[in-house]
Every structure is written in structure tokens, then in C-alpha cells.
Structure 1
Amino acid sequence: MDTEALKKSLLKKFQEVTTDRLQKIQLGVIDLEKETADQAAEDVARELHTMKGEARMLGLAAIGQLAHAAEDVLRAEREGKTATEIATDVMLRACDVVSDLLEDLDAGSTGNTASEEMVRALSEVSGMSPPAIGGAKPKPAAPPPVAPPPARVVAPVQVPAPVAAPPPAATTALAPRPAESVAPRAEEDAPSAAKASIADRSIRVNVEVLDSLGLLAGDLLVESARGRLRSSETAGLFERFSRLGDRFLRLADRVEIPNDVRTELERVEADLHMLRDDAFRFVRRNGDGINTLHGNLAQLADHVAEARLVPLSTVFDAFPRAVRDIAKTQNKEVDLVIENADIGVDRSMLADVRDALVHLLRNAVDHGLESPDFRQQLGKPATGRVRIRVRVDGDMLHIEVEDDGRGIDPERLKQVAVGKKLISAVQAAAMSEREAVELIFRPGFSTREQVSELSGRGVGMDVVKRKVETLGGSVAVSSRQGRGTSVTLRLPQSLALMKVLLVRLGDDVYGMPAADVEAVMRVKPEDRLEVFGTLAVRHRGKPTALVALGPLLGLNGGNRFDRPPAVVVRHGEDHAALVVDGFVDEREVAVKPCGGEFLKGAPFIAGTAALEDGRIAVLLHVPDIMTEVRRMARPVTQAPTTRRLRVLLVDDSPIARATEGALVKALGHFVEEAQDGEEAYAKVQTNSYDLILTDVQMPKLDGFSLTRRLKSTPSVARIPVIILSSLASPEDKRRGLDAGADAYLVKGELGVESLAQSIDRLT
């Protein structure tokens, strides 16, 4: 390698290493204001000295000059010649200037106006003359006038920009530079041998290569599962050949044949036994090999998934300074505590996790924490505390952001929501405390009446919820007035491989993340109940909404068993029992995004996964499903209809009848049921009804035929007929209206509001 190429390589390495080193320096500088100041000063001094030496070796004189001047400030602060707060502010600003010089290495060599001014500012604080670019020993300067502490002058702090468009600067508050490495980075110049050994074993890997390896490992895992299936099929074929040979030999024993043929037959029998023994040995060896291969590939997939994990510290390291800067703009004192920052998260999720935490930290400082004077009046410490806790629960990552501030006032939220016309006064009065707290997730909701740099723009918690749910996670909020607020993000730790429960709907296979599945069950008739017009089932002693998954997804019908299988899923604090046609298996699959226009952007769908039998499983997005379940189960907030109607509900699925009947009853009407068109037509002849709701696909007499028969019978032709079907094509709707139906509603789009509007219009 020539000299120029070597220098370029070293400069690139210096940029990468120094970016990490700046984060450590900033964390250490902030710690100068804490009890651990002595250790922090040693760490910062070591990092500055190393950075200065490396910069000067590579000819980056301006960066070396800044590091040298910062060393002088640190020494002056340790000796008590400079106030800690002033030293902290100027050194943090110096880190920003070094970060800019790293982007422009030419300026890093010769310097620019910003770096020269920064060196002068550092020298004024330290009381030393500016160091020469060549590294000459500085001479003491005249002591600067000491500024009184109350009138501390600090350069304007850069306020975090909205997360939707984070600025590129690495040290911008709450917008750290995205990590370019997917493997955990070892700390440079670590003081312990353990850290040094980690550095020796770490390399930087291109993220595209790692992504490709992840996809390849997932595909190989599926292919090895197919190999196990083929091995099992091969064993079955050999078993059939063995049985056929035995039948042939038994038949030969019962037939009279000449002795010479008998001798030949005995040879054939010996060959058959030998062939069978060889075949069984092959099956056993092949099976063992396939199982070993599958185990190794599963281990490979796990290692690749683990390599994709980036320690959350790559995000969290920028937060202490950012929180400090935000607090200063509001004259607040904040202590940020971070626990378990070394836990990893999938690198593809890193940006979304960072963005979500940005909003949570800004809200905690801006909305949650009170001013120091007010906190002391309440008997609280003047310094507020924000704590980030991280833990792993199985395949799920829990990140909790907690503050000890004022908490959330549900009544205040209701008043603001009514004032902004997000909800009506009637809805506000009917809301529980938990529902009121969840108003903070409404788009455009803000309790601030005036726009500020930090809040009041109508964006925030809705962004957090959307980002987390896009990743297949959930957000939970708990608060106590006067004591504080806690927001917990529940996320999958990795998106490359996911353990899913495979269920069957008709002939198709669907998957749900195992982390969202709480239990599987058989729904007994005696366990069903109705809660405020909503069909439910008793699960672990508590009523849980019961919904047929097929109709909810817009698929045909519902389960027709008396004790149908159901999956109990959880999203946040909400639970639902989803009725399916059967269970397939639980396994780990390689998740792939939806391809083509058929599934891309479709509701309720998170991705796809290939199965070993060649089928493609559609992976369901549980947050979307739970949103739809809540919409269907939401109590009616409009005024009830003055007239109670007598409604005949026709459907061959008992679960579908129960679900649709609950919606009709929630509107205050009487419901009678029929299992098919023949039974419905017979009931209409002997009873009086105000409305008929019918499915399409039923035995004996389908919905279209029933509608035609009703409309051709003069005595009942006046009764409005609404077709409820999972058939949603324009052709199906046209057939229904041609048959005489007064309305056609799709089951996957059915809710209290849409049903109420149709009934009111027709009656």
C-alpha cells in the first residue's frame, strides 16, 4: 500500500474512533458536575490526551490544538481556578467544533474561524495562552477577570429539532449520529485488560452484508426444515416398499412352485431383507445428518441475529448532554439515570427507537418535571429525576422512561380534547381514567396553549405510538398525579427472526408473533357472556372480547364448531380472544416484507414467511387487529335510537351471529337468530320483523336467494334487508343489490357506527 492510501485509511479510522471518543468525552464532562467527578476527570483527560496525540500524528493540527486547550480547561477546573459549570459548557461546545472538523478534515488540519474562536474561548477559561498549532509549549497568560457565578455566560444551546427530520450533526441535542456498525464497538484505549481484549476481537462489518447474511440464514433455516420433511417422506416411502416386499413373500409361501423357483425365491427374499436393512440404515443416517444440519443452521441464524444487535448505549450516550441542554433552556435541574444501556436492539430498529425516546425525554423534561422552586414547595428535591430502564423479557425488549414530575391529570386532558373538538362532551363524560390518559396519543393533541421550541406543535406521543406499533410493539402509560409518569415501550428485540404461532383460516396459514400470544383455548358455550353489548369469553376469571378473526380480516364466514379454537392475544393492557379454524404449529420464521402490490400496505398484515411445505404464511399485525377490536367493542356514544327494532340475524356461523348480534344489541335493538336462509324465510312467515341482516354463503338457501325470495313475497317485501358478507368485490355487491338488498356491508369493515348509519337510513 502506498503512503497516500495508507494515510487515507488512517484518517478514515481516526474519524470513526474519534466520533466514539467524543461521545465518551461529553459523558465524562457532564459527570464533572456529579459526585463521580474525580473518575470522570481522569477518563476525560485520558481521552483528550489520546485524541491530541493521534491528531498531531496525522497532521490534524487544529483538532490537536483544540484537544490541548481543552486539557488546560480540565486542569484549571480540577485545580479550582475555573468554575465547573463554565468549564463544562465551554468543553461541550468544543466537542461540537471537533465534530464539525471531523466532517471536513482539511479544516481539521489548518483550522477555520470557528475552531480559532473556540481555542480562544478555551484559553480564556483556562487562563492559558492559546497553544501553538505546532505544539509549542504555551505560556501562562494574564489571569482573566473572574466572572461572578450567578451571571454565568453560556453560548446558546442547540435545541433539538423535531424527530421527523433530525439534523446531521452528531452532537445535536437528542439527535445522535446514526451508527454505521452493527456489531458492538469496543471502547478504545480502555483502562482494563478486559476491554482491551474485547477491542482485539471486534471488527466493523458493512450493514448491507450483515442484512444479506440474515436473509440467507433465514432462507437456509426454512430449506433445512424442508429437508427434514423430505427425510420423513423418504422414510415413509421405504416403509411402504418394505411392507410390499413382506406381502409378496407371504403370497409366495402360499403358492405351490417348483424347487428351482423356490431356491431363486429364497435368494430374492435374502436380497429384500438386505435392501430393507440398508434402506433403514440410510434413513437413520440421513435423518441424523438433517437434524444436525438444521440445528447448526438454527444456531447460525441465532448468531447472525445476535450480530445485528447494536447496544442501546449508541443511542443513549447522547441523551445526558441533550437532557442537560433542554433543562437549561427551561431553568430546570435534571438528573438522567440510565440502566442496562448495554442491552442490544436490532440495528434496523435503532433509528425508530431513538426517535421514540427523543419525544419521551422531551416530554418528561418539558411537561413532566416542575421548576426547582415549585418542586421544593411540594417537598421534592429541586433536581428532578428522569430514569430510563431497559430489560429483556423473552424475545421482547422493555424500555421504560419514568419521571418524578407532576403526573397526568385526566380531567385536564378531557377538557383540552373537548376544547380542540377531538371528542364530544358526552364522550368525555363516559371515558374512564385510562381512556382519558390515552388521549395523549391522539394526533394533534397538546396541552400547551402556546407554541414553544420544545412543545405545542401538536406532534409527539402520536409519533411515538405510531413508530412503536409499526415495529410490532406497544406503548403503555401509567401516571400518578403529583408523583410522576412512566411510559413503557414493548418492542421485539430482533426483526430478522421471529417466533410465531401459526393458525389456520380456511385453507390458508396466518402467523401471530408468539410474544403477543397469551394463551390458546377452546371457547366453551358456557364461558361466553355479553358485556355492554359486546360478546366476550371468560379467560382466567376475566371477561375478554371474543371476535371471529376471519370476518374481521374480511375473509369468509366464521368458525362453525360449538367449541371453536381461539387465540388470546395481548396488546398493551388490551386482550382479545380471536376465533380461528385451527392451530398449525409454533416455530421461528424468517420475516420478510410484503412484496408486490397485493399485500403491500394492506391492513392487519406485517409481513410474510416461507414454510417448509412451500406455503407462504401471512404474518398479522396485532396492534392493527386490536385497534379494530376496540372499535367494534366500543360502547355507543351517540344518543340511542328512539325506537327499538326487532331484527332477524341470519348466519350459519354461531360466532359470527354472536359478534354481529352484539353490535345490533349495542344499538338497543332486539335480535332473533336463524342458522340459514330456509329457517329465516320460515320465521318471517310467522313473525314480524323491522329489519333482516343476512350472510351470503350459507347451506340450503344462500343470502342472495333469500333476499330474492323475500322481495318477491308481497307480505314481507317491505322489510329492509341488509347483506353482511366478507365478499367485498364490486361484482358481489352488484349481485346483492340486484337481488333486492337495501344495503350491502362488508364484515371486515363492520362497526357500530357504520351499522347504526345503515339502520337509521333504512328505518
Structure 2
Amino acid sequence: MMPDQDLSAFSLFDLFRLEAEGQSRVLTEGLLALERGAAPGALEPLMRAAHSLKGAAAIVALEPAVRLAHEMEDALLALNRAGAVPVQRIDALLAGVDLLQRLAQVGEAGLQDWLAANQHAFDAAIGAIGAPVAVAPPVAAQPVAEEAGAMPATPVQQASDELLALASQARLQALQFAPFITSLERYKRSQAGVMQLLEQLRDAATASRDPHLADLAALVMARAEPLKGVLLSHIAEADEYQRHAVTVTSRLADQVLALRMCPIGDGLHSFPRMARDLARSLGKKVRVDLAGADTMVDRAILPRIEGALTQMLRNALDHGIEMPDERRAAGKPEEGAIRIGARHLGGMLLVEVADDGRGVDPQRIRDAAVRHQRATAAIAARLPDAELMEFLFLPGFSLKESANELSGRGVGLDVVHDLAVSLNGSLRAESRPGQGFALSLTLPLTQSVVRALVVDIGGEPYALPIARVERVLKLPQGALVTRGGQQYIDLAGEWIGVVGAAQVLGLGCPDAGPELSLVVIGGGHDRCALAVDAIRGEQTLTVQPLEPMFGALRDVACGAILDSGAPVLVLDVPSLLVSTNRLLHEGALQHLGQPDDAAGRRRVLVVDDSLTVREMERKVLAAHGYKVDVAVDGMDGWNMLRSADYDLLVTDVDMPRMDGIELVTLLRADARLQRMPVMIVSYKDRMEDRARGLHAGADYYLAKGSFHERALLDAVADLIGGPLID
């Protein structure tokens, strides 16, 4: 898994540019959602985005951007308190976002000249954002499908979830009889040995010609003999009870699952009419054929499948089906055909949308990839057709050079791909130029049951959704090749990065044996081979949500129960890939079979939701010999603190999910972590802000506004000493 870019090679302005692009996207999407009627409560992430932009701009001394982001943050805070969002204010905020995006696109060499030339634009944007407007009464929030994510569970769905959990627990209790029966079998073997000794004792007593001893031995045998039958009866009854209990609880779980299922046709009935109307608006003729409408699917995810199929249908209509005259010229009927089919395949749900249109010319994808700067011309020319199809799933990627009402904006198949990934499924495209195009969406039948590959990592079982597993391999350790400091294997002529699953999960990095057990996860260029202890095999698992007390566990999707009755964690493959990339960018991936060369260095955890700030802090500390890990917010930082040992915590205050004050408070309440030194690095520099941080338990408070590299290093040295342990 070779990264395209290494953040350690970026300048601070490069990092600001990356952060400005990401936070501007958050602000733009959030403001548009508010304009469409989303609840005013959605302002919270927008305030955090503006705050992060302000801190990032301060780090690189962009004073006009700091003032603009500060004004945006204040305006968003005022809107949040007012509970209403005037349209004029949204217009002004969007104009401010546009200005920050333009700033991020300026080259570093011409930055000061650009700022001087656009000083008036910044002043005008700040004035427009702060100008008073008439506040209209709050508008009732309308559900926005794109922001809503999964639909809220209905009472029936909630009840079925609880029933499924109870059925799974009952099945687990039934499985617990197995070890009890095994212990009874051991007692039976011991009893047989005792009976054999009693028989020998009886024979010896008879041979001794002592009537009293012989009578006593006979009495003992008479009393002991019925016990054999009693124990055998109890074993038979327990075995029968277990079989019956497992059967009943399994049937109960199956019936609860059946209650959650419905025919996929329930969500497809409107598609033929939708296709007809859209085709007419485009001047085309089309018919839609439905196949497999009675295929059962989890009703909880059917609305999300409908949304994905809508995008797939629109793609077929606009990109695939030709105009009537073009079809006639190609010897095709004027009316195009789109087939939507669903079926069960290998324990998964397979939904296909295929058309008989023009298909996709691979050269058009190559040209678009170069045009969108997704690949160089040389690389695009070498890519096989199967990999070229994956470009169609990238955000912002479109084969059209201009947009119409239906497509060309680069939004569509990326949404379908994201849905597939979020549901532990996959999306595949196949094209026959001049004949047609097909999209295949593969998903688990239900989100309550997952077909998984069970592996051992760090001596414990873990499960990986089988839909996210590409291959399973066993190779000698000699097959590992080190290139550019990273270990790889050659898989059919392609280099795949190898990482230790135990290290990614924070379980250490045990030495690799002579044979490697590898699981290739991910897809396309974003994949890697996880080295695990052992591969147990496939199982169908009934998933269980984790208890809220555990919070969000990094790289873990949910829990489940193995066939043996033992608990297992189901890993989140996209999160695993993110964690692996993070270790790779930090240069912290440990080679299999090699000791950790950073074992003697002091370890620091940097927690900040600003990419610019945390990368700058990481670079400074790492350059002076400290071992540095980073977390993107308080929740991520709390999970990392609980899974590894650190000498110092450096944290921001304002962050999503869990802020720095909450993080420090949790740390001080934890028996293992409460003595760890803590430094707060925050843009807030008021006395009350400092007092709040120190009251929560911080040992040092450093303001980002007056931030200097020397100040950070001196503070860290004061708290934990130099980077090397004597």
C-alpha cells in the first residue's frame, strides 16, 4: 500500500491548503443543507470547521484569513443561539468560504501580493457576514436524505433488534451446556475407574474367605451399581436439552430475522415510472425490466438501497442510453432497455443495473482521469480496464465536460460506492463499448447477520466481513520484499503492502514465524495484506451492537458470538485502512519480525482536529527525537490513550465528538492515566479559558496565537524531559 503523498514532506502552507479545502467543503455542504431546511442544530460542526480554519490560518500567519474565519465563527455561533438561519446570512457565509478557497489555491510564492490585492475583498466579506439582517421565524426542519444517513429505526425495527439480541443471548446460554456435558463425560470416565476398583476390591474380599468383608464389599457394589445408570441418564437428558434449546433459539433468531426482511420489489415499484419521466425529459425512450422483485432484503436498509439504485438508474439513463437517432444508426431499437435484477448469491444480496446503451470507452476514462488530475497520462495509459472503472466511483469524477440537470457534476456513483463500503459490501462496473454498461452492487442480506472470516490476532479471535476480504494467503516469510522502507508481497505482478494486524490494532507486533498468514483487504489501490496469527475460517455471525459504555472503538464495527459461544469483535475494514495509512504516513509501521526501534524514546500523543496544527506539532516533536502519535479528535485520542502507553498528552480544546476539556477530565479520573502530564495547545488565550483548562487538570497551557516551535519544545521538556530515556 504505497501512499500517493507523504505529509511529512509538506510545508505548513501546504497543510493549510489541505485543511482549507476540507473545512470549506464541510462549511459549503452544511450551509446548503441549512438552506434546504436542515435543523439549525446542524450549525455545531460548521462552527468547529470555522474554528479549525482560524487556528490553521494563525499557524501560517494569514491575518486576513484569521479575521474572516473568526467572523464566520461568531456569526455561526449567533445563528445557533438564535435558532434561525436567514438566507442573507447564508449567502454572506458562502461568499466567505469562496474567498478562503481562492486563498488556498494561491501559490506560496505570490501569496503576499495576492493578499495585498484582495484586502478589500476580505474587509467586504467580513462586513457582509457581520451586517445585521432581519431574522425570520425558525422554519420547521425537513429531513435531508444526504445528511440524514441511516433512517431512524421504527418501533417495530427497534423491537426486532431487541428480540434478535435476546434470541442470540438465549442461544449463547444453550451453547454453554456443551462444556457442562463435557464435564459430565469426564465424571463418567472417573466413575468407570472407581467401579472397576470396587469390583477388584469385591473379588479380593471374596477370595479372603472373610464373610464380613465379603458382605460389606457386596453391599458397596450394590449401592454403587445404580449410580452408573443415573449419571448416564443425566448426561442423556442434558444432551437432549442442549440440542432442543439450540434448535429453538436458532429458529427464534431465524424468525426474528425473517420479520426484518421484505421483498426488494417493495422499494422498486416507482422505478419504471421514474425512468419514463426522466427519459422523456432527455428526449429518449426507455423501458425498465424488473427481475427478482421477490428477493428478500433487510427492510432497515431498503431505503438506502433505493437511493443507490436511483443514482445507478440516472447514470444509465444519462450516460448509457443513446438518443433515438443514435440507436437507429447503431442498428438498435429506438427504445433503450434497462434491467434491474436482484438475487441472493453466496449468502449476499446482489443487485444489478444493466443497460443496452453505448457503454463506456476506456479511453474516455483515461482522458477524464488526466483532465481531473487523478492520474498522469503515462500512468492512465498503463492501467487495465478493470482498474479504470474504479475512477467512476471517485468523488467529483465525471466523463462529461459540462453539466446538465441530471449529471456531470461528479456526484452519483461515488455515493453508491460509499453506501456499499458503509454496509460492508462492494460495487463493480463492467462495460462493453457500443453494447452496454452494468453496475453490480453486492451487500449483506441483512445488517444483523454478517458472513465473516475469523482470524486470530494477538492471541484473540477477530472477524472481518467477507465482502471486504479480497484474498487469503499463506506465504513463507522470505516472500516479503522491502521497498522504500515498507514491506510488500508480489501478488500477480502487483505490489501489495504488508502490515501486522496486531500493530494496527495496538496489540504490539509479535515476531513473524517462518510462514505468514495474510488477509488482503480493501480494493483497488487502497488495499493491504494484514499479517495475522492464524486463519480459523468463515462463519455466519449475528452481530451485536457494542454497549454505549465502551464508546466508539477505533477499527471496530460491532461485536458477535462465534459458533463456539465465545465473543468476537467484528473489525471495520475502512477504518483499518485509515489506521494503516496513518501509521505509514508517520513512518511508524514496524517490519514483521523486527523489534521496535522507538522503544527507548518518549512517546507523545497529539490530539487536534486541525490537520495543519497536529501535523506541525508532530513534525516539530518527531524532528527532535520524540515518538509521536496523532488523533483527530477527543474520542479518537481517548481510545488511543486506553490502548497504548504515552508519556505526554498534547491536546486542543474545541474538537468534535469529545473536546479537550472532556478528554482531560476523563484522563484524570482514570487510575492508570491520571498521573500523565497534559499540555493544552489552544487558540483561546483568555484568562478564563486558561483557568478552565488548568482546572480540568492540564499541567501546561500554550496559546496557538503566540505559538513558537521553541516554546512547544521547552514546555514538553519541562513536563517529561528530553526525547531519550536514560
| TM-score, normalised relative to structure 2 | 0.56
Q: Which of 134, 146, 149 is residue 164 of structure 1 equivalent to?
A: 146
Question: Which residue of structure 1 lines up, in the alignment, with residue 175 of structure 2?
Answer: 225
Asked whether the equivalents of residues 398 and 409 of structure 2 are also in contact (C-alpha less than 8 Å), the reply is: yes
Give CA-to-partner distance per residue, 1:687-713, whole Å, 9 cap, x none. Answer: xxxxxx7263xxxxx7889xxxxxxxx
Give identity over the alignment, percent.
28
CA distance in 2, matches of 1:340, 1:572: 30
Asked whether the equivalents of residues 349 and 443 of structure 2 are also in contact (C-alpha less than 8 Å), the reply is: yes
Partner AA of 1:342 in structure 2? D
Does 2:284 align with 1:332? yes
Does 2:340 align with 1:388? yes
Give CA-to-partner distance per residue, 1:217-261, whole Å, 9 cap, x none. Answer: 222222222233333233334434544565677689889997534
In structure 2, relative to structure 1, the CA distance for the partners of 1:306 and 1:284 (3 Å cut) is same
Question: Which residue of structure 2 lines up, in the alignment, with residue 593 of structure 1?
Answer: 545
Cα deviation for residue 476 of structure 1 reads 0.8
Partner AA of 1:605 in structure 2? V
Asked whether the equivalents of residues 473 and 623 of structure 1 are also in contact (C-alpha less than 8 Å), the reply is: no
Question: Which residue of structure 2 lines up, in the alignment, with residue 214 of structure 1?
Answer: 164
Asked whether the equivalents of residues 359 and 460 of structure 1 are also in contact (C-alpha less than 8 Å), the reply is: yes
In structure 2, relative to structure 1, the CA distance for the partners of 1:323 and 1:628 (3 Å cut) is farther
Does 2:568 align with 1:617? yes
Question: Which residue of structure 1 lines up, in the alignment, with residue 49 of structure 2?
Answer: none
Cα deviation for residue 422 of structure 1 reads 5.3
Asked whether the equivalents of residues 424 and 467 of structure 2 are also in contact (C-alpha less than 8 Å), the reply is: no
What are the within-5 Å matches in structure 2 for residues 672-691 of structure 1? 675-676=594-595
In structure 2, relative to structure 1, the CA distance for the partners of 1:237 and 1:470 (3 Å cut) is farther
Partner AA of 2:177 in structure 1? G
In structure 2, relative to structure 1, the CA distance for the partners of 1:319 and 1:537 (3 Å cut) is same
Asked whether the equivalents of residues 589 and 609 of structure 1 are also in contact (C-alpha less than 8 Å), the reply is: yes
Cα deviation for residue 491 of structure 1 reads 0.8
CA distance in 2, matches of 1:348, 1:422: 36
Question: Which residue of structure 1 lines up, in the alignment, with residue 556 of structure 2?
Answer: 605
Partner AA of 2:392 in structure 1? I
CA distance in 2, matches of 1:325, 1:576: 44
In structure 2, relative to structure 1, the CA distance for the partners of 1:675 and 1:395 (3 Å cut) is closer
Question: Which residue of structure 2 lines up, in the alignment, with residue 694 of structure 1?
Answer: 597
What are the within-5 Å matches in structure 2 for residues 57-456 of structure 1? 164=146, 206-243=156-193, 246=196, 259-420=211-372, 431-456=383-408
Cα deviation for residue 338 of structure 1 reads 1.8
Cα deviation for residue 423 of structure 1 reads 5.6
Cα deviation for residue 482 of structure 1 reads 2.9
CA distance in 2, matches of 1:541, 1:242: 62
Partner AA of 1:607 in structure 2? C
Asked whether the equivalents of residues 475 and 572 of structure 1 are also in contact (C-alpha less than 8 Å), the reply is: no
Question: Which residue of structure 2 lines up, in the alignment, with residue 642 of structure 1?
Answer: none
Cα deviation for residue 563 of structure 1 reads 1.9
What are the within-5 Å matches in structure 2 for residues 549-588 of structure 1? 549-558=501-510, 560-567=512-519, 577-584=529-536, 586-588=538-540
Question: Which residue of structure 2 lines up, in the alignment, with residue 463 of structure 1?
Answer: 415
Does 2:595 align with 1:657? no
CA distance in 1, matches of 2:229, 2:581: 61
CA distance in 2, matches of 1:411, 1:348: 40
Asked whether the equivalents of residues 538 and 544 of structure 1 are also in contact (C-alpha less than 8 Å), the reply is: yes
CA distance in 2, matches of 1:408, 1:520: 32
CA distance in 1, matches of 2:436, 2:483: 33
Give CA-to-partner distance per residue, 1:492-515, whole Å, 9 cap, x none. Answer: 112223343332222432112355
**C-alpha root-mean-square deviation of aligned residues, in Å?**
4.6
Asked whether the equivalents of residues 499 and 589 of structure 1 are also in contact (C-alpha less than 8 Å), the reply is: yes
Cα deviation for residue 316 of structure 1 reads 1.5
In structure 2, relative to structure 1, the CA distance for the partners of 1:704 and 1:562 (3 Å cut) is farther
Question: Which residue of structure 1 lines up, in the alignment, with residue 671 of structure 2?
Answer: none
Give CA-to-partner distance per residue, 1:622-657, whole Å, 9 cap, x none. Answer: 4554677799999xxxxxxxxxxxxxx999xxxx52
Give CA-to-partner distance per residue, 1:174-229, whole Å, 9 cap, x none. Answer: xxxx9999xxxxxxxxxxxxxxxxxxxxxxx9444444433332222222222333
Asked whether the equivalents of residues 474 and 515 of structure 2 are also in contact (C-alpha less than 8 Å), the reply is: yes
Question: Which residue of structure 2 lines up, in the alignment, with residue 742 of structure 1?
Answer: none
Cα deviation for residue 348 of structure 1 reads 1.3
Asked whether the equivalents of residues 559 and 580 of structure 1 are also in contact (C-alpha less than 8 Å), the reply is: no
Aligned residues: 477
CA distance in 1, matches of 2:629, 2:565: 30
Partner-residue secondary structure (3-state), 2:544: coil
Partner AA of 1:164 in structure 2? E
Partner-residue secondary structure (3-state), 2:464: strand
In structure 2, relative to structure 1, the CA distance for the partners of 1:261 and 1:473 (3 Å cut) is same
Partner AA of 1:321 in structure 2? R
In structure 2, relative to structure 1, the CA distance for the partners of 1:650 and 1:314 (3 Å cut) is closer
CA distance in 2, matches of 1:595, 1:734: 29
Cα deviation for residue 675 of structure 1 reads 4.7
In structure 2, relative to structure 1, the CA distance for the partners of 1:343 and 1:614 (3 Å cut) is closer
CA distance in 1, matches of 2:492, 2:189: 46
Cα deviation for residue 265 of structure 1 reads 3.5
Cα deviation for residue 375 of structure 1 reads 2.5
Bigger-Rg structure (1/2): 1
Partner-residue secondary structure (3-state), 1:523: strand
Asked whether the equivalents of residues 523 and 537 of structure 1 are also in contact (C-alpha less than 8 Å), the reply is: no
In structure 2, relative to structure 1, the CA distance for the partners of 1:293 and 1:446 (3 Å cut) is same
What are the within-5 Å matches in structure 2 for residues 620-639 of structure 1? 620-625=571-576
CA distance in 2, matches of 1:241, 1:560: 46
In structure 2, relative to structure 1, the CA distance for the partners of 1:322 and 1:615 (3 Å cut) is same
CA distance in 1, matches of 2:572, 2:555: 5
Structure 2: state its 5+ residue gaps: 1-142, 604-622, 631-638, 651-726
Partner AA of 1:618 in structure 2? L
Partner AA of 1:657 in structure 2? H
CA distance in 2, matches of 1:540, 1:418: 26
Of structures 1 and 2, the one with the larger relative CO (CA 8 A, separation 6+) is 2
| TM-score, normalised relative to structure 1 | 0.53
Asked whether the equivalents of residues 604 and 622 of structure 1 are also in contact (C-alpha less than 8 Å), the reply is: yes
Does 2:430 align with 1:496? no
In structure 2, relative to structure 1, the CA distance for the partners of 1:650 and 1:356 (3 Å cut) is closer
CA distance in 2, matches of 1:346, 1:529: 44
In structure 2, relative to structure 1, the CA distance for the partners of 1:261 and 1:580 (3 Å cut) is farther
Partner AA of 1:272 in structure 2? A
CA distance in 2, matches of 1:572, 1:222: 39
What are the within-5 Å matches in structure 2 for residues 502-581 of structure 1? 502-514=454-466, 522-525=474-477, 535=487, 546-558=498-510, 560-567=512-519, 577-581=529-533
Partner AA of 1:560 in structure 2? A
Partner-residue secondary structure (3-state), 1:164: helix
